[in-house]
Amino acid sequence: MSKGRDAKPHIGIYGRRNNGKSSLINCLAGQDIAIVSEQAGTTTDPVKKSFEITGFGPVILVDTAGIDDSGELGSMRVERTVRTLDIIDLALLVVTENSWGEYEDDLVEKFRSKDIPFLVIHNKSDLISPRAEFADLVMARTGKEPFEFSAADKRNYEDLISLIKVTIPEHSFRTPSLLGDLINHGDVVILITPIDVEAPAGRLILPQVQAIRDILDNDAVAIVLKEREVDAFLKKSGIRPALAVTDSQVFVKADASIPHDIPLTSFSILLARFKGDFESYLKGTPRISDLKDGDRVLLLESCTHHVACDDIGRTKIPRWISNFTGRKIEYDVVAGLDTLPRPITDYALLIQCGGCMITRRQLHNRLQPALKAGIPVTNYGMAIAYVQGIYKRAIAPFVNSKETGEVYL
């Protein structure tokens, strides 16, 4: 299963074999995107499919293997099904024939442990309707009433769509502003975007595009420059920007070029506040100074990409941290949402990328094992700013507030 490369809300379909999970997906999508069969266990691996909910927007439906699959292969399928819980925003638990048991109890426990909102869908209700005593049982076990549905005759279809809309977390589909609270109508924002070997041919990276769009949405002006053009532009134009945003890799150059009375931050730090656990990043970043010889650092890239010879996660950040600390440190880099190469407790620090290609929930789920284990976490941009001596300036636009009572300059 291709994981974590789409930032649309993810809806996972779970339940026992032959409960009609694939039929439900086809019904929701309005097309045959999942194989349907009377033979139990037709769906062997999680399958993702994008479709549009009218009046809501695009979502990703995740069809999973039956949670009651058996045998050695079945156990592997169940394991893959459980792993999808790390990428979903809403779970639909599909039951039939008024049947509820340990499989459903176990799924509900997993949903709750990961703070995943869920609905209980009683499918095939055209054949057997949910009984009152079954509804009472489900309410007692989950605090939710089972929703009567049938993929065959689409009964209660519109009500189900409405229920999905109100149950899925708002942060999964509402797009907050990257920097709307930092700028005003008519402000000029400079975006410093180096074009180097890691820049994609003929286009900008997603965080840069998102920043441009967000500036326009806030009726401000975006000026995009390469790092070597900044000094000349400011001198010739006489423009005084309200904010400057830089690629983290040229933080030092940007710090020298942008006058210190103009706020400066990075695209990665914008994303850290926009999508990551910013408070935990603020606490975890200074722990870089506490690293010791033999410590192991985990770098998480939430997408896969071509690796350049001077890659930011595999080469530059490890080099900068090692030079800053003067310690002999081991580094692991995990791309996408793959499993970790060793237990999370083996690491002294976790460094997460901006996460532009995944959902907010996916990113938070990625951080949770480290946070629960008491391991400090930080972000690519914040870590780079810290080891290059400009951390306080880089976070100042976000933490200089009456709420914190602190000023970082």
Domain boundaries in the chain?
A: 10-172, 188-270, 278-387
More confident residue, 355 or 350: 350
pLDDT band at 355 (very low <50, low <70, confident <90, very high): confident
Question: Is pLDDT above 60 for 403?
Answer: no
Average pLDDT over residues 388-408: 70
Report whether 367 contacts 352 (CB < 8 A): yes
pTM of the full structure: 0.64
pLDDT at 15: 94
β-pairing, 47-53 vs 57-63, is antiparallel
The C-alpha atoms of residue 290 and residue 297 are separated, in whole angstroms, by 12
The C-alpha atoms of residue 21 and residue 41 are separated, in whole angstroms, by 11
Tell me the per-residue pLDDT of 278-297, one tens digit each, with 9 for 90 and over. 999 999 999 999 999 999 99
More confident residue, 203 or 371: 371
Question: Is pLDDT above 50 for 120?
Answer: yes
Closest Cα to residue 66, out of 102, 33, 28, 22? 22
Hey, do 188-270 and 278-387 end up sharing a CATH topology, with the first three levels equal? Answer: yes
Percent of the chain, pLDDT > 90? 55
Among 23-32, 158-167, 298-307, the least confident range: 298-307
Percent of the chain, pLDDT > 70? 86
pLDDT band at 253 (very low <50, low <70, confident <90, very high): very high
pLDDT band at 72 (very low <50, low <70, confident <90, very high): confident
Give the right CATH number for 188-270 from 3.40.309.10, 3.40.50.11420, 3.30.1360.100, 3.40.50.300: 3.40.50.11420
Mean pLDDT (the chain, rounded): 85
Whether CATH 3.40.50.300 fits 10-172: yes
More confident residue, 58 or 245: 245
What are the beta bridge partners of residue 265? 245
pLDDT at 233: 96
pLDDT at 30: 72
Domain covering 278-387: architecture: 3-Layer(aba) Sandwich (3.40)
φ/ψ of 11, rounded to 5, equals -115, 120
pLDDT band at 405 (very low <50, low <70, confident <90, very high): very low
Report whether 154 contacts 246 (CB < 8 A): no
pLDDT at 205: 84
What strands, in cross-sheet order, belong to the sheet with 330-335?
Answer: 330-335, 296-301, 349-352, 377-379
pLDDT at 262: 95
pLDDT at 69: 85
Average pLDDT over residues 374-387: 95
pLDDT band at 6 (very low <50, low <70, confident <90, very high): low
Report whether 126 contacts 152 (CB < 8 A): yes
DSSP 315: I
Tell me the per-residue pLDDT of 159-200, one tens digit each, with 9 for 90 and over. 999 899 888 876 555 556 788 889 999 999 999 999 876 666
Residues 6+ apart with CB under 8 A from 93: 14, 15, 104, 107, 108, 111, 118, 119, 120, 121
Q: What is the CA radius of gyration of the chain?
A: 24
Measured CA distances, 265 to 113, 120, 214, 258, 272 (Å)? 35, 44, 15, 11, 11
| Helix count and strand count (H, E) for the chain | 14, 14
Measured CA distances, 371 to 212, 269, 286, 296, 321 (Å)? 32, 19, 15, 16, 21
Closest Cα to residue 314, out of 337, 291, 292, 331? 331
More confident residue, 21 or 305: 21
Burial class (CB in 10 A: 0-12, 13-18, 19+), 263: buried
Burial class (CB in 10 A: 0-12, 13-18, 19+), 307: middle
Q: What is the residue type of 9?
A: P
pLDDT at 42: 45
- How crowded is residue 140: how many other Cβ atoms within 10 Å of its Cβ? 8
Please spell the DSSP secondary structure of 99-124, one letter per residue.
---HHHHHHHHHHHHTT--EEEEE--
pLDDT at 223: 97
Average pLDDT over residues 44-60: 73
pLDDT band at 404 (very low <50, low <70, confident <90, very high): very low
The C-alpha atoms of residue 240 and residue 231 are separated, in whole angstroms, by 12
The C-alpha atoms of residue 7 and residue 154 are separated, in whole angstroms, by 29
DSSP 97: T
φ/ψ of 266, rounded to 5, equals -125, 165
